[in-house]
Amino acid sequence: MYTAKVTRKVIYHVLVVIFGFIMIYPVLWMIAGSFKDNSEILRGSLSLIPKAVKASNYSTGWKGFAGTSFARFFLNSFIITVVATLGTVISSSLVAYAFCRINFKGRKFWFTCMLATMMLPSQVIMIPSFLIWYRIGLADSYVPLILPYYCGQAFFIYQMMQFMKGIPRELDEAATIDGCSKYTIYTNIILPLLKPSIVTTVIIQFYWKWDDYMGPLLYLSKPESYTASLAIKMFADAASKTDYGAMFAMSTLSLVPVFLIFLIFNRYLVEGIGTSGLKG
Amino acid sequence: MAEKAEKTSAFSRFMNSNQTVGYVFAFPFIFGFICFSFIPIVTSFYYSFTDYSMGSKTLTYVGFKNFLQLFSDDVFIKSLGITIKYVLLSVPLKLAFALLVAFVLTRKSNMVTLYRSLYYVPSLVGGSVAVALVWKQLFARKGLINVVLADMGLKTVNWFGDQKLALYPLILMTVWQFGSSMIIFAAGLKEIPVTYYEAARIDGANGPQTFARITLPCLSPIILYNLVMQTIQAFMSFTQAFVITQGGPNNGTMLYALNVYNQAFKYNHMGYACAMSWFMLIVMSIITLVIFKTSRFWVFSEGGED
């Protein structure tokens, strides 16, 4: 009986690990590819260990295109992502607080509008938005890529509201008796308790924005303002033969910030999910 | 207290009224909704009845011409069919995987958190150009997938050369990114009271019965949420097709969003592209409505959906 249980446990873990390995294999293969020679990549080698480590892929790739190096592309991505993520957190938490805690006229109406935007396909908005930004003369700037993120993101407002519902209203009442206004309740009570939800927002919004391709593709036309994702695509577009090694090297680098954010906050992500449960 | 109340000026009473506080906090959304959703939608609606193109000075009202043209546009009809096929295959598979893995990973074990992170990795990086390029290479003619097929003694396949096959690597890539749905399912599974399972065990239910009678009904509101969100997201898929196949071969992977993008920014048919996106909006509204209407029959909502 005991051994059967142990065997089953071992089988479970082995299967989960093997399947997980297959899941992340493409990513590992890319990292390995960043140290491989072009010919080895093109042969479709399964191996995760390069025959001869070719670290020069990184220096070649880093040079970038048309005199703009990847230092610039990464900096651009970083600025857009950090500023937009910050905007999402601030604005979404403000709006979630209004919808969840304040009983104002028109709340139902605006809440319905928010649900509608959640289900609205972005393509419908894409073309006219572009034309409007173009007409204002801001099409070739970071403004269209950042400003909307300071107006609350429906998906995150909704997630934060779900979390906020779990914060007892008695805390608000106690704070009111202690002299808090509705503004200071937000800063002193809600915001600190919202931390797990904020962390989840930061992780998801960070990698959505970092990986975003369509936005920069539409709005950025000058190579020096390109983001990393646009620049990486240029490897594949090059008129001459694609330098796969360099492309994978820069691709690998481009995933580092996403992984770092995930590794740093992963613990909180799970915590955030845990507290939204019944036991929380 | 009375003294304090007197000090409260009319201004601060105004500032602290529910109306003011509500609109102060909701302002970012209301401003954004009007500027970045409402006005563009109305503009798009207006343009869809015109022959607008960028740079042109004149703008002619063409009535329903753009909409009628859709149905005689072979590329459009093909892209609509392909997109529906893509959505119908990728979304159910993705949700099934997400649910299965979330269920398998509910066991109490220190390793589960680690495993869950492992399975989340594709979602974390999958939307990036980097991974799309890797995918393109994996399914290339001499790519890794074909090498594996050859090693197993099977025929190699020209994935992106055959319009009937090219969609499948894209579908696989979408299914591969089941991590975010999985996380939401995992959170939902945690909320099912243990007592339900205990009661089922006492009644002599086996594993599959428990899953069908307790797990699925309790998760149904979350399945609905994931279904709606993933369907909408799948209809909007763009980056993969744009980076990997550019819609080819012979428009075999011309996903709807890519087609709209091409019409607008490649061919500068802004009016026509707006009509296409409005058609999409109508189709998706109908689908969402159908999902919600039918959900009455399969979503179990005794505890209320939250």
Tens-place pLDDT, residues A144-172? 999 999 998 998 998 888 888 888 888 88
Min Cα–Cα distance to chain B from A212, Å: 7
* Per-residue model confidence (pLDDT) at position B274: 92
Q: Which residues of A touch B113 (CB under 8 A)?
A: 270
Instruction: Identify the residue among B16, B103, B125 best suited for mutation to test binding to A, counting A beta carbons within 10 A and taking the highest.
Output: B125
Q: How far is A146 from A129, CA to CA, in rounded Å?
A: 13
* Per-residue model confidence (pLDDT) at position B42: 92
Nearest residue of chain A to residue B111 (CA atoms)? A13
| Helix, strand, coil fractions of chain A, as percent rounded to 5 | 75, 0, 25
- B134, A27: Cβ pair inside 8 Å? yes
List residues bridging with A68 in a β-sheet: A65
Tens-place pLDDT, residues B45-63? 999 999 888 877 778 888 8
On whether residue A28 sits in a domain, the answer given is: no
- Does B150 contact A at CB distance below 8 Å? no
Q: How far is A104 from A106, CA to CA, in rounded Å?
A: 6
* Per-residue model confidence (pLDDT) at position B54: 81
Q: Is B50 in a helix, a strand, or coil?
A: strand
Contact B174, B234 (CB under 8 A): yes
- B265, A123: Cβ pair inside 8 Å? no
Q: Taking the CA atoms of A118, A122, A124 and A130 in sequence, report the sign of the dihedral they define.
A: positive
* Per-residue model confidence (pLDDT) at position B261: 93
pLDDT higher than 50, residue B36: yes
- Does B31 contact A at CB distance below 8 Å? yes
Choose among A33, A119, A127: nearest Cβ to B270.
A127
Contacts of B8 (CB under 8 A, 6+ apart): none
* Count of domains for chain A: 1
The pair of structure tokens assigned to A249 is 């090297």
Q: Which residues of A touch B241 (CB under 8 A)?
A: none
On whether residue A280 sits in a domain, the answer given is: no
Tens-place pLDDT, residues A171-222? 888 999 988 898 999 999 899 999 888 988 998 899 899 989 989 999 998 8
Mean pLDDT check: name the lowest of A221-230, B134-143, B254-263.
B134-143
Interface of B with A in 40-69 (CB under 8 A): 40-41, 43-44, 47, 54
Number of CB pairs < 8 Å for A and B? 265
On whether residue A31 sits in a domain, the answer given is: no
pLDDT higher than 90, residue B107: no
Tens-place pLDDT, residues B272-286? 999 999 999 899 889
Q: How far is A254 from A209, CA to CA, in rounded Å?
A: 12
Nearest residue of chain A to residue B189 (CA atoms)? A277
Q: Which of A203, A241, A224 is nearest to A81 (CA)?
A: A203
Mean pLDDT check: name the lowest of A272-276, B4-8, B161-165, B245-249.
A272-276
Q: Is A26 in a helix, a strand, or coil?
A: helix
The pair of structure tokens assigned to B87 is 């959505």
* Per-residue model confidence (pLDDT) at position A92: 95
Min Cα–Cα distance to chain B from A155, Å: 10
Of B109 and A20, the one with more pLDDT: A20
On whether residue A185 sits in a domain, the answer given is: yes
- Does B121 contact A at CB distance below 8 Å? yes
- Does B282 contact A at CB distance below 8 Å? no
On whether residue A221 sits in a domain, the answer given is: yes
* Per-residue model confidence (pLDDT) at position B295: 86
* Per-residue model confidence (pLDDT) at position B213: 86
Domains of chain B as residue ranges with CATH: 73-298 (1.10.3720.10)
Tens-place pLDDT, residues A76-131? 999 999 999 999 999 999 999 999 999 999 999 999 999 888 888 777 788 889 98
pLDDT higher than 70, residue A1: no
Range with the largest mean pLDDT of A117-121, B90-94, B100-104, B114-118: B90-94
Min Cα–Cα distance to chain B from A60, Å: 17
Q: Please state the φ and ψ torsions of residue A120, each to the nearest 5 degrees.
A: -85, 125
Residue type, A278: L
The pair of structure tokens assigned to B210 is 């428990």
Q: How far is A172 from A186, CA to CA, in rounded Å?
A: 9
Range with the largest mean pLDDT of A44-53, A63-72, A181-190, A264-273: A181-190
- Does B209 contact A at CB distance below 8 Å? no
Residue type, A146: I
Q: How far is B239 from A214, CA to CA, in rounded Å?
A: 7
Query: Average of pLDDT values for A62-75?
Result: 88
On whether residue A106 sits in a domain, the answer given is: yes
Q: How far is B194 from B113, CA to CA, in rounded Å?
A: 20
Choose among B22, B36, B105: nearest Cβ to A107.
B22
- A211, B129: Cβ pair inside 8 Å? yes
Contact A164, A98 (CB under 8 A): no
Query: Average of pLDDT values for A21-35?
Result: 90
Q: Which of A203, A234, A228, A204 is nearest to A216 (CA)?
A: A228
- A125, B228: Cβ pair inside 8 Å? no
Q: How far is B246 from B258, CA to CA, in rounded Å?
A: 8
Query: What 8-state DSSP symbol labels residue B154?
Result: P
The pair of structure tokens assigned to A226 is 């390109």
Tens-place pLDDT, residues B207-241? 888 888 888 888 888 898 889 989 998 998 898 89
* Per-residue model confidence (pLDDT) at position A276: 42
Q: How far is A224 from A215, CA to CA, in rounded Å?
A: 16
Tell me which residue range forms the domain holding A161. 64-275
* Per-residue model confidence (pLDDT) at position A279: 29
pLDDT tier for residue A270 given thresholds of 50, 70 and 90 = low
Q: What distance separates the 2 farthest-apart alpha carbons in chain B?
A: 90
* Per-residue model confidence (pLDDT) at position B304: 44
Q: How far is B273 from B267, CA to CA, in rounded Å?
A: 10
Which percentage of chain A shows pLDDT scores above 70?
94
- Does B125 contact A at CB distance below 8 Å? yes
Instruction: Read off the CATH number of the domain in which A262 is found.
Output: 1.10.3720.10
**Torsion angle in degrees (nearest 10) through CA of A36, A37, A43, A44:** 20
**Predicted model pTM:** 0.87
pLDDT tier for residue B9 given thresholds of 50, 70 and 90 = confident
Q: What distance separates the 2 farthest-apart alpha carbons in chain A?
A: 75
Q: Which residues of B touch A123 (CB under 8 A)?
A: 236, 256-257, 260-261, 277, 280
On whether residue A77 sits in a domain, the answer given is: yes
Nearest residue of chain B to residue A233 (CA atoms)? B129
Q: How far is B225 from B229, CA to CA, in rounded Å?
A: 6
Instruction: Identify the residue among A127, A135, A209, A227 best suited for mutation to test binding to B, counting B beta carbons within 10 A and taking the highest.
Output: A127
Contacts of B252 (CB under 8 A, 6+ apart): B82, B162, B163, B164, B166, B167, B245
* Per-residue model confidence (pLDDT) at position A183: 92
Q: At what angle do helices B110-125 and A2-33 cross, to 10 degrees?
A: 30
Choose among A46, A118, A148: nearest Cβ to B147.
A46
Q: Which of A188, A208, A209 is nearest to A97 (CA)?
A: A188
On whether residue A219 sits in a domain, the answer given is: yes
The pair of structure tokens assigned to A64 is 């970038």
